[in-house]
Amino acid sequence: MFKQFLKSFSPGQKVEPVPLKSEITFTVYRVRRPDGLDGFVDILALLPPEIFTKRGIGYDSIVGHWTEFVAEGDEMPAATFRPNKAFVALLHDVVAINAPLVPELQTAARKQHKGWLYILDARTPTPDGEVPLRDIIGAFEVREGAMVPDSYWANPEHLLFSSDGLFQLGSTSLQKALLERVMKASIPSAEAGSRSE
């Protein structure tokens, strides 16, 4: 369904952005259904409205969508949210490449010395206790006080949107790296329409 979304986006398209509370600026766009059915669907993206309306949106930039229309004023339910696998892959790639460069994580690896260093979703209510599997983004093997770069494990159970809200990268540098990748993934809609199914 996400590839179908691309065909329905065009520069200047009227959208209804709804900013959500988060360290990362997420926006919900209510757009016409791309599958030919009547009505609208709510999608979640990291692109700000000014970029979305000028350039369209890239496939990897769509975080996910809701399977049911959400009435205005209602909370976005986690149960009906469906993540975009391409965005999930992009997120893990950003973490795998950039996390070993984060000073706080380097310090944690030095203290730990060996084992696995878990990259936690900053939304977790229990960062110093038992962290639910859905709030573990991934992990790096630690050897001799350093993260092994090619050892990143992407947790397939991590949820982008749970009952505790949208995912949060605790590091400002990881957030910046993710936003840069999302902006690169945002392609002009003319190119988006030519992408193959």
Query: Quick one: pLDDT at residue 23?
Result: 58
Quote the tokens at residue 70.
């959400």
Query: Quick one: pLDDT at residue 8?
Result: 39
pLDDT average, residue stretch 98-114: 94
Backbone φ and ψ for 46, nearest 5 degrees, come out as: -95, -10
Note the pTM of the prediction, 2 decimals. Answer: 0.80
Instruction: Give the residue, 50 or 193, on which the prediction is more confident.
Output: 50
Query: Quick one: pLDDT at residue 46?
Result: 86
d(CA 181, CA 164): 25
Query: Quick one: pLDDT at residue 20?
Result: 34
d(CA 192, CA 197): 11
Cβ–Cβ under 8 Å, residues 147 and 138: no
Query: Quick one: pLDDT at residue 102?
Result: 94
- Tokens 């399977």, residue located: 67
Please check the confidence at residue 177 and state whether its pLDDT lies above 50. Answer: yes
- Exposure pattern of 94-105 as b/e (b: 16+ CB <10 Å)? bbbebbbebeeb
d(CA 59, CA 57): 7
Query: Quick one: pLDDT at residue 30?
Result: 82
pLDDT digits over 114-171, tens only?
A: 999 999 999 999 988 899 999 999 999 999 999 998 999 999 999 999 999 999 998 9
Please check the confidence at residue 196 and state whether its pLDDT lies above 90. Answer: no
pLDDT digits over 53-100, tens only?
A: 777 777 788 899 998 877 777 888 899 999 999 999 999 999 999 999
pLDDT digits over 1-51, tens only?
A: 444 434 433 334 333 333 333 457 788 888 777 676 777 888 898 877 777
Query: Quick one: pLDDT at residue 193?
Result: 44
Instruction: Give the residue, 176 or 25, on which the prediction is more confident.
Output: 176
Q: What angle do helix axes 85-98 and 172-185 make, rounded to 10 degrees? A: 130
- Tokens 């065009």, residue located: 10
